[in-house]
Amino acid sequence: MKTSGFSIPAAKSETDYCSLLGKIAVADTPLDPSGQVIIDGNVYSASTDGAFVDPGRGLRVIRVRGKRLIVTLV
């Protein structure tokens, strides 16, 4: 499956997702508070602490909850 020209990674384990902690992401869709982010060319599901984030904004992964990334603005 493709989104915005980027590939959605195959099912990864939660351990793989934990390796994304601290990484910089870019909002691919609006996060209100959930949406999609791009990290290293891959699209991931992400949420904020409730803040609205416009597409294109820089984010940092601060937590992993299952297979969802929790991000904050940088």
Using a 10 angstrom Cβ sphere, with 0-12 exposed, 13-18 middle and 19 or more buried, the burial of residue 27 is: buried
In order of start, what are the domains of the chain with their CATH numbers?
2-73 (2.40.50.140)
pTM score, two decimals?
0.81
pLDDT digits (tens, 9 = 90+) for 18-74: 999 999 999 999 999 999 999 999 999 999 999 999 999 999 999 999 999 999 999
Q: What is the spatial distance between Cα 27 and Cα 14, in angstroms, rounded to a whole number?
A: 21
What pLDDT is attached to residue 16?
87
Written as one letter, the residue type at 33 is P
Q: What is the spatial distance between Cα 43 and Cα 29, in angstroms, rounded to a whole number?
A: 10
